[in-house]
């Protein structure tokens, strides 16, 4: 199977599916790899899959499972989109949950905001 993207980029794929497999099934199987690559990149970039420095397979598996749980939680937050989260991507939501984003300016109307931001 061959694919030509915009411009001159061409990609070719070899498969061992039966000859009567519909083209839609071939495309589905071929493009499924992109979802795996995206998930692996988000696991490394956003939740630290590549930060493991242990010495055992069991430790690596525990770390990988915790990273997958953390990414699943971030994806769940992105899909359910609570009102207090402003991000629409996994990196934005991770940054907001981790507290990496600046706080919004105080409203200066309520006692709580005035007490928090009035200084010594």
The full set of domain ranges for the chain reads: 2-117
pLDDT at 7: 79
Percent of the chain surpassing pLDDT 70: 78
In sequence order, the 6+-apart residues with CB closer than 8 A to the CB of 88 are 78, 81
Residue 106 CA to chain centroid, in angstroms? 31
pLDDT at 12: 87
pLDDT at 84: 66
* pTM given for the model: 0.61
pLDDT at 38: 87
The SS3 assignment for 1 reads coil
pLDDT at 31: 84
What is the rounded CA–CA span in Å between residue 39 and residue 41?
5
Contact predicate 96/85, CB 8 Å: yes
pLDDT in tens, 7-54: 788 888 888 889 899 999 988 888 888 888 888 999 999 899 998 888
């Amino acid at each position: 199977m061959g694919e030509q993207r915009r411009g001159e980029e061409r990609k070719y794929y070899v498969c061992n599916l039966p000859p009567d497999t519909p083209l839609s099934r071939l495309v589905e199987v071929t493009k499924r790899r992109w979802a795996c690559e995206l998930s692996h990149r988000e696991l490394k970039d956003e939740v630290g899959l590549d930060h493991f420095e242990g010495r055992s397979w069991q430790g690596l598996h525990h770390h990988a499972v915790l990273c997958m749980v953390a990414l699943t939680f971030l994806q769940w937050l992105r899909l359910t989109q609570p009102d207090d989260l402003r991000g629409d991507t996994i990196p934005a939501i991770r940054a907001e949950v981790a507290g990496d984003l600046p706080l919004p300016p105080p409203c200066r109307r309520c006692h709580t905001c005035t007490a928090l931001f009035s200084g010594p």
